[in-house]
Amino acid sequence: MFPTLVSRAATALLLGGNLVAAIELNIDDATSIKNAAATIAYDMMTYYQGNQSGGIPGVLPGPPPNPPNGYYWWESGAMWGSLIDYWHFTGDASYNDVIEAGIQWQVGEHDDMMPSNWSASMGNDDQGFWGMTAMSAAETNFQNPASNQPSWLSLAQAVFNTQAARLEIETLCGGGLRWQVYQYLTGYDYKNTIANGCFFNLGARLARYTDNATYASFAEETWNWVTNIGLMDAQYNIYDGAHVETNCTDINKIQFSYNMGVWTLGAATMWNYTNGSAIWEQRVNGLLNATFNVFFPDDIAYEVACESKLTCTTDMYSFKAYLTRWLAQTTFLAPWTRDIIMPKLRASAIAAAEQCSGGTNGRTCGLSWSKGTVWDGTQGVGQQMAAMAVIFTNLIPLADIGPPLTNATGGTSAGNPDAGSQSVANPAAIKPATEADRVGAGILTTLMLVGATGMFGWMSL
Ligand SMILES: *[C@@H]1O[C@H](CO)[C@@H](O)[C@H](O)[C@H]1NC(C)=O
Ligand SMILES: *[C@@H]1O[C@H](CO)[C@@H](O)[C@H](O)[C@H]1NC(C)=O
Ligand SMILES: *[C@@H]1O[C@H](CO)[C@@H](O)[C@H](O)[C@H]1NC(C)=O
Ligand SMILES: *[C@@H]1O[C@H](CO)[C@@H](O)[C@H](O)[C@H]1NC(C)=O
Ligand SMILES: *[C@@H]1O[C@H](CO)[C@@H](O)[C@H](O)[C@H]1NC(C)=O
Ligand SMILES: *[C@@H]1O[C@H](CO)[C@@H](O)[C@H](O)[C@H]1NC(C)=O
Ligand SMILES: *[C@@H]1O[C@H](CO)[C@@H](O)[C@H](O)[C@H]1NC(C)=O
Ligand SMILES: *[C@@H]1O[C@H](CO)[C@@H](O)[C@H](O)[C@H]1NC(C)=O
């Protein structure tokens, strides 16, 4: 009796011990990193119901307010990109079929990552995130879809081509993509850095993948615009956006970590594509300097706009996932950055694993990596995705992870330079507003923004 009781108690203690312990992680051990990332990925995927009967493939529950804590369409695309990297880094292909099916379900009527179902919240950044996910699939030789489905590369090209067409009709603010795609959407009058950053990032990566200079010149043009207008300043700080009503002089100075990631990876890709140009080297270094100064206090990634009081929106809880993934990819393209980036990813991963210590399972991830094992009480796809991403990036020094491929170095996704041309021809999607329409929309937007100033809700992608 007595020994049994003791061993039961010991077992209970052990279980209890596991419950209060954070995710276990030995950052110098590849198996430990893979196990931690696998557990966090598994918990993340419990939010996904798209492959269950009655679910919509490719999307998380949402958008808000149905359910109130639901996800916008873009974040589902971002999650697939994170899971493609998860497979690429860890070799765990458990989710690959779900990823492929999910993306292909969402390609839209014109194979351009703009399904009409989601036109009520379609931003250039939303579409851009799905485009960058398709690009990651091409660069990692992710399993190719059936030949009657659009290839990964062609989807990335379609996103680029539809956005390049929108850019070419822009006159206000001297260029730049608008935040929203359709003129009836709130935020059509806002030009934001993430929408332009996604386009820049995609252009750079397409140039490198296909060795086609047209993409690179659009990327250059976008860099020039964002710096000229002051959305990126001389110290490489990156601000959120500005309105066309002021010719983009009312710069909203909020800073988000995903902007640092998207521009840094794009700049590193341009450095690589140009065979090591001095100007892109300087830009990569400047961006890293600003990134570390603003977003890595004590080497631990920190969402400076909202982490201290946990006022982040659902979108913002996921931003550190992209920051850390894209810094990791930067180390392959601009090799000298590895020694300065990896210490930050290492410290952040150790901290993130500790923060995965909450919820009913005792391992739910919060956002507040710098709070150690004291769970911050938040949970969601974004928190899981960010912790998963920063942890698996630490396989770089321990495993043989290939650099992003190109068409010349083994990438097998077949392209279509004209992808998206059908949707470009759709006038409703790109027709500039008439002056009367534009003024009307501007007033409406201003009224809505007056009510929303100080909150982040209107800024969701
Ligand atoms: C849905 O995907 C999960 C992986 O996230 C898998 O375990 C499960 O079997 C899938 N369910 C169906 C019905 O396909
Ligand atoms: C669009 O919505 C319908 C109805 O909910 C759904 O059946 C379909 O799968 C959705 N398509 C996409 C691409 O989300
Ligand atoms: C609007 O901004 C652009 C870019 O800075 C500038 O070239 C243009 O002259 C400005 N237009 C007006 C009317 O101020
Ligand atoms: C290069 O890309 C541009 C822009 O999409 C496209 O128009 C052109 O056909 C491409 N060139 C080649 C050789 O594929
Ligand atoms: C980079 O170098 C390769 C090999 O010499 C060359 O084919 C390519 O055109 C160069 N790229 C650029 C953008 O100069
Ligand atoms: C570009 O990236 C590839 C892949 O990592 C690397 O082999 C190559 O050396 C890089 N180019 C330069 C100029 O460093
Ligand atoms: C790094 O950023 C700081 C703050 O903006 C700046 O003072 C410093 O000159 C930058 N250093 C480099 C090497 O760019
Ligand atoms: C990609 O490479 C294949 C051969 O490996 C070639 O046939 C094809 O034209 C290339 N595509 C581009 C866009 O360069």
pLDDT in tens, 120-175: 889 999 999 999 999 999 999 999 999 999 999 999 999 999 999 999 889 999 99
Q: Which two tokens stand for residue 458?
A: 């209107």
CATH topology of domain 29-460: Glycosyltransferase (1.50.10)
Q: What is the pLDDT of residue 424?
A: 60
Q: Which of 77, 111, 140 is nearest to 416 (CA)?
A: 111
Comparing 320 with 448, the larger pLDDT belongs to 320
For residue 18, pLDDT over 90 is answered with no
- Tell me, yes or no, if the pTM score tops 0.85: yes
Q: What percent of the chain has pLDDT over 70?
A: 87
**Ligand 4 center–CA 211 separation, angstroms:** 10
What confidence score (pLDDT) does residue 385 get? 98
Average pLDDT over residues 227-254: 98
pLDDT at 327: 98
Alpha carbons 331 and 403: distance in angstroms, whole number:
9
Spacing, Cα 210 to ligand 8 middle (Å): 8
Ramachandran angles phi, psi of 232, nearest 5°: -120, 125
- The token pair at 453 is 């100033």
Q: Which amino acid is residue 339, in one-letter code?
A: D
* Sequence spans of domains, the chain: 29-460
Contact 193, 240 (CB under 8 A): yes
Compute the distance between CA of residue 13 and CA of residue 26 in angstroms, rounded to an integer: 23
Q: Which residue has the tokens 């080297």?
A: 281
Say whether 192 sits in a helix, a strand or coil: strand
- If one counts every other C-beta atom within 10 angstroms of the C-beta of residue 354, the result is 22
Token representation of residue 280: 């892109």
Check pLDDT > 50 for residue 432: no
Question: Is pLDDT larger for residue 212 or for residue 451?
Answer: 212
**Residue 448 scores a pLDDT above 70:** no
- % of the chain at pLDDT higher than 90: 84
Neighbour-count burial of 311, counting CB atoms closer than 10 A to its CB (0-12 exposed, 13-18 middle, 19+ buried)? exposed
Residue ranges around ligand 6 (CB below 6 Å): 272, 275-276, 332-333, 335, 403
In this structure, the residue with its CA closest to atom 3 of ligand 6 is 333
The pLDDT value recorded for residue 81 is: 98
| Ligand 3 centre distance from Cα of residue 322 (Å) | 32
**pLDDT exceeds cutoff 70 at 259:** yes
366-406 residue pLDDT tens: 999 999 999 999 999 999 999 999 999 999 999 999 999 99
Q: Calculate the CA 299 to chain-centre distance.
A: 21
Q: What ligand 6 atom has the least distance to the C-alpha of 275?
A: 13
Look at residue 324 and tell me whether its pLDDT is greater than 80: yes
Least confident interval from 186-190, 395-399, 419-423: 419-423
Judged against a pLDDT cut of 70, whether residue 460 lies above it is answered with no
Cβ of 174 below 6 Å from ligand 3: yes
**Ligand 7 environment, Cβ below 6 A:** 235, 286, 289, 293
